[in-house]
Each structure stands twice: as structure tokens, then as C-alpha cells.
A and B are shown apart, each in its own frame.
Chain A
Amino acid sequence: MARDGVVLEVAAVSKSFGALAALTDVSLAVREGEVFSVIGPNGAGKSTLFNVVSGLHAPSRGRVSFRGREIGGLAPEAINRLGVAKTFQITNVFPEISVGENVRVAAQSRSADSGRLASLWRRPDVEVRVDELLDAFGLAARRDALAENLSHGEQRYLEICLALATEPSLLLLDEPTAGMTPGETKGATQLIRHVARARGLTLLLIEHDMSVVMGISDRIAVLHFGEKIAEGTPEAIRNDPKVIEAYLGGGED
């Protein structure tokens, strides 16, 4: 177990694509049970950071460890099996199958047979977990609808259901309220917080929307041009002159 209840540690990670340095020497430590947010203007490297943590990209330099285990450079499926799940900024579900089937296929990923020969004929019973998730996100009535026929807001929730169905202990949320109306955003933010608490999840959140971040985060890190320029509580970030200059660009939130 890692020190001080640290779940995810990103240590001096850099990532460059050719000559472009997307991340430079970024370090952060996410503690058990907290909501940690990463904010920054467009192009700040937030998504790259997520892609490095979730396994889409290997870090060019530095280390990423999850519960004391090095995960930098592992494949996405391997990282997911260790208990890290990710939602996508652009909705990324299975469009032409039903909502129920979407969640089922995600949920059975953690069944004992998964990846074994017996999975060729057995059909694991994951209905209880599927029901729980659909109920929690208000999708129970839409169970038999094709995922592509859901409203935008419903698809955002399905996106989170898929990630949660793999029973992660760390959930990476990439702008979970992207494209939602302000009203929907408020409801979604509360729901995410509630579900995370109930499941004892640690959340790492990327957000654009300051109101979302300020409301639910325990700590916030700010990226600017691929470098971390600040880290602290929402209150400290709100008053940090460097952040105001780089990101808020004018003194008020």
C-alpha cells in the first residue's frame, strides 16, 4: 500500500508528441476517497494526462503508479483490470445495442470467467449490479432502448454506468457534464458526488466548468501549457494570482 493513503501517484511525468511537449514534469498525488480535479484552459494537457493514466499513451518520462504499482505504459485493459475506469469526454458507448446490454457487457468484465475458456459457454449473472446502476442513474425505464437513441444527458449517464460497472476503486471522469445544460449539470454533479461517496470511490476529474469543480472537489490542480502551476483547495485556487492570470484571466470566477 502506498504512503499516506495515496491511490494514484503521477511523478514527474512528461509526454511529448514529436516536438510538441504536451506535459512537462507534472506530479500529483490523489488520496483515497477524495475528489481531485484537474483544470486548465484548452490545450493545457488535461486530456493527455488522462490518457497517460488510463493507458492510451505511455509517458515519455516519469512514473505513474496506482496503489504502489507502476502502471505507466500498461495497456488500457490491464489498467482497467487493476481497478481504474475512465469515462470519455465525447460519449463513447456501444450505440446499436440496448442500454441494458451496454451495462451488462461492462459488468461481466469482472466476473470470474472473464478471459477464461469457460466464458465461451457460460453467461454470468450480473443482473443485480446492472439494475443497481441503471436505477442509480435513472436509466431503468430506458433499459431496452438502443444506446444511440438516448438523449445526450442520458448517454452521459450511461457513459458513467459503463465505467462504474467494471467496479473501479479510482474513477477518471473526463468532463462528465460536457454538453449538458446548467440545470442538468447541477443535478449530474450532485449525483456523481453521491454515487462516489456511496461506493467509496476516489475520483479524478477533468473539468472545464468552474462551477462543477468548485462545488465538488476536495483539491484542485491547475495545468497551463502542460505544466502544473498550482494545486490546493478550491478556495486557495480561486485566490491564487497565477491561476487567475493564466486561467480565469481577469480576477473573478
Chain B
Amino acid sequence: MSRVLTWRALLTLAALAALPAVPGLPRYYLLLAFDALLFGAIAMSLDLLMGYTGLVSFGHAAFYGLGAYATAILMERGVLSLWACLGFSVLVVGAYALVVSYFATARRGIYFALLTLIFAEVVYTFFRYTQTFGGSDGIQGLPDAELWRGVPIDTPERKYYLVLAYLALAYATCRVVVTSHFGRVLVAIRENEDRARFLGYSVQRYKMAVCLISALLTGLAGAIYPIRSAFATPDLMVWTESGEFIISVMIGGLGTLVGPIIGGVFFTILRDKVSSYVDWYFIVIGVVLIVIVLFMPKGLLGFRRLLGFKQWRATA
């Protein structure tokens, strides 16, 4: 059909939309699904950088956390409109991302990873020690947000459909971007940055632009998180959170968009299941990751191909 509206995408969306209708499904699972899809969408946004442009951001947790705080700060002050929260998050995350991406892309190689990490740690430390925003407790006990006046986003079903709408929007955005003129240049930058310059492309501008897109999508994910959880805490932007995003992208398969969604969902569910039995869940996840890196370096999606499935990978 088109670049975005494929039968597969529509069927997947329809199947996900039918999840709340599964008879006897505990409501808790809708909230787990919320977390899983949100995590998957963030991993997909990060894939624009990691898989397509060849940039590894160790600071995505800051975009996520800033988006969450933006919503929480508004809601704490009685602004319950979903749209106001999303708009405010876009402004805050966008302004921060502009600064970070400018400095992080000014130099090449390892500096991008280092600078995104350092900026994110500064943001984390700021919120961790600023009592106006609750310090280490963050902002707790938020009321329900409203889709519009009189329509609160209160039930697990409504929250689930909110994340589903976000995922669909984020996926469509990413698909359009990677299949565009712009997306081709990103891949060229990943493959050979110097050569891209000699073909007339201002590499830093492209890198900044893709950082901004990825940061805004991640910030929007952050913006809807407090609507499900009723809190925003500094823990959302610890650097290990950024590490988990990176792991999800790798589990799913770099440069595939769909792979990182699956990776994020897999990671979230695995963490939830394992951590309900043992405290050292990260050891289990570490083993899984090692197995994946060793035996399926192209991630879960790549593994499908090894098993003889038709190629699903969406090349730019």
C-alpha cells in the first residue's frame, strides 16, 4: 500500500486494539502492556539514532524524564488537559534537545555518547536535588488527566488506548522519516560520514535534526507516563534507564524500527516476570542479552530471518 499504511501495520494495530476485549484479562495486564508498548516506542525512537544514523545516545532517559516532569508539573498545578501537557513537554524537551544535540554532534565518535550521558546526568542531578520538584521523591499522587473537559483518562482501558495512539503516531512518524530523502541521508551518514559531506550534505544539521525528532518522540512517551502512573520521579532519568533503552534496541534489531518495539516489549515483560520471582532480575536479563548478542547479532527480527521467514526488515 504505502510507506506507512501496510496491511501488516494495520492488522497489528487492530490486534493490539482488541487486547482489552480479551475475556477475563486481569486489568493489571493492560498496565503492563502500557509500559511494554511505551518502552518499545522509546526504543524505536532511539533506533532512528542507533540503527539508522549510527549514533549511540546514552542520554535518552533525560528526554523521557523531562517529558514526564513537564506533565507532572502542570498536573500538580491543576492543569489536567492532556493536550496542554503534551504541548508543554514538547517545548521543554525540544529546547533541551536543541542544546544537547548541538554540542553532542559538534564532535565525532565517542563524544556523542559521552556528551549525551553527561547532559542527562546534569538533568538527573538537578531534579534529584531540587526540592521544588520533590527532590528524590519526585512529584507524587497526581490526579487523572483529561482528554478534554469531563473525559478523564482514568481506567486502565483508556490509558492503554492512549499509549496505543501514541505508538501508532510514533511509528508512522519514524516510518515516514526513514523512507524519506532525509532517512536516506541518515543511512549514508551511518555508512560513511565523510563521504556524505563530499556529496553536499551538512552532516551536523542532519544529525541535529534526527536527534531532535528522536528526543521529541521520547519526550512524548515521558509526557504520557505520569498519566498512567500518577507520578514522576528522578529515577525515570537515571543513566541505567538509557542503558535499558539501548539494550532493547539491540535485542530487537538495529535499523528495523519494528525490532526495537518488540525488543522493548520483550524487555519490559521479561523484567516484570523475572522481578516478581527474584530480586536479581538483571542477571537473568544480562544472560538473555549475551545469548542474543552472541547467537543473533541482528536481534530478534534478524533471528526470524535465520529461521527462514520472509525478510521483514524495512531498509531505508
Complex interface: chain B residues within 8 A of A121 (CB): 176-177, 180
Give Cα distance in the complex from A93 to B196, angstroms: 9
Interface of chain B residues 239 through 290 with chain A (CB within 8 A): none
CA distance A112 to B24 in the complex (A): 56
Residue in B181, B191, B197 whose Cβ sees the most chain A Cβ within 10 Å: B181
Q: How far is the CB of B192 from chain A (nearest CB, A)?
A: 5
A80 touches B198 (CB 8 A): yes
Q: Closest approach, in angstroms, between the C-beta of B98 and any C-beta of chain A?
A: 15
Q: Do A105 and B198 contact each other (CB < 8 Å), given the known contacts A113-B181, A122-B181, A123-B179?
A: no
In the complex, the answer to whether A115 meets B191 with C-beta atoms within 8 Å is no
Is B182 in contact with chain A by the CB < 8 A criterion? Answer: yes
- B179 nearest CB neighbor, chain A only: A123
- Across the two chains, which residue of chain A brings its CB closest to B185? A105
With contact pairs A94-B187, A94-B191, A96-B191 given, residues A119 and B198 touching in the complex (Cβ less than 8 Å): no
Establish whether residues B199 and A162, one from each chain, have CB atoms under 8 Å apart when the complex forms. yes
A111 to B, closest residue via Cβ: B181
Does B184 touch A at the CB level, under 8 Å? yes
Type the 1/0 row for B275-309, where 1 means its CB is closer than 8 Å to any CB of A: 00000000000000000000000000000000000
- List residues of A (108-157) whose CB comes within 8 Å of B's CBs: 108-111, 113-115, 119-124
- Which residue in B177, B181, B202, B213 is a CB contact (below 8 Å) of A108? B181
Q: For the complex, is A97 an interface residue (Cβ under 8 Å from B)? A: yes
Report how far A45 CA is from B199 CA in the complex, Å.
24
Chain A residues 68-92 with CB under 8 Å of chain B are: 75-77, 80-81, 85-86, 88, 92
Is there an interface contact between B180 and A123, defined as CB atoms closer than 8 Å? Answer: yes
Task: Say yes or no: A92-B181 contact (C-beta < 8 A), given A80-B199, A97-B187, A109-B199.
Answer: no
> Whole-angstrom distance between the alpha carbons of A93 and B203 in the complex?
16
Overall SS of chain B's interface: helix
Q: Which of B127-170 contact A (CB under 8 A)?
A: none
Beta-carbon contact of B192 and A105 below 8 Å: no
B195 adjacent to A123 (CB under 8 Å): no
* A93 in contact with B180 (CB, 8 Å): no
- A81 partner, pick from B194, B200, B213, B315, beta carbons under 8 A: B200
Chain A interface size, under 10 / 10 to 19 / 20 to 34 / 35 or more: 35 or more
Provided the pairs A106-B199, A115-B202, A162-B199 are in contact, do residues A123 and B191 lie with their beta carbons within 8 angstroms?
A: no
Q: Which residues of B contact A120 (CB under 8 A)?
A: 176-177, 180-182, 209, 213
How many chain B residues have a CB neighbour from A under 8 Å? 26
- The smallest C-beta distance from B107 to any residue of chain A, in angstroms, reads 15
**Which residues of chain B come closer than 8 Å to A93, judged between CB atoms?**
192, 195
Closest B residue, CB atoms, query A95: B191
A77 in contact with B181 (CB, 8 Å): no
Asked whether, in the complex, the Cβ of B198 is within 8 Å of the Cβ of A76, the reply is yes
Residues in B with CB closer than 8 Å to A88 are: 195
CB neighbors of B among A160-197 (8 A): 162-163, 165-166
B198 near A123: Cβ-Cβ < 8 Å? no
Q: Is the CB of A162 within 8 A of B195?
A: yes
Q: Which residues of A contact B42 (CB under 8 A)?
A: none
A104 touches B197 (CB 8 A): no
How far, in Å, is A225 (CB) from chain B's closest CB?
Answer: 28
A16 to B192, CA, bound (A): 27
Instruction: Indicate if A54 sits at the interface (CB-CB under 8 A).
Output: yes
Cα distance A251–B207 in the bound complex, in angstroms: 54
Give CA–CA (A80, B176) in the complex, Å: 27
Residue of A nearest to B3 (CB): A123
Name A80's closest neighbour in chain B (CB-CB): B200
Contacts of A111 in B (CB 8 A): 181
Measured between C-beta atoms, what is the minimum distance from B93 to chain A in Å?
A: 18
- A97-B188, A123-B180 provided; 8 other pairs, C-beta below 8 A? A76-B198, A86-B198, A96-B191, A105-B184, A105-B185, A108-B184, A119-B180, A119-B181
Interface residues of A (CB under 8 A from B): 54, 75-77, 80-81, 85-86, 88, 92-97, 101, 104-106, 108-111, 113-115, 119-124, 162-163, 165-166
Q: 10 smallest A-B Cβ distances: which pairs?
A: A94-B191, A80-B200, A119-B181, A109-B200, A105-B188, A76-B197, A105-B184, A119-B182, A81-B200, A120-B182
- Give me 7 A-to-B residue pairs in the complex whose CB atoms sit less than 8 angstroms apart, sorted by A's number: A77-B199, A77-B201, A85-B199, A108-B184, A109-B199, A120-B180, A121-B180
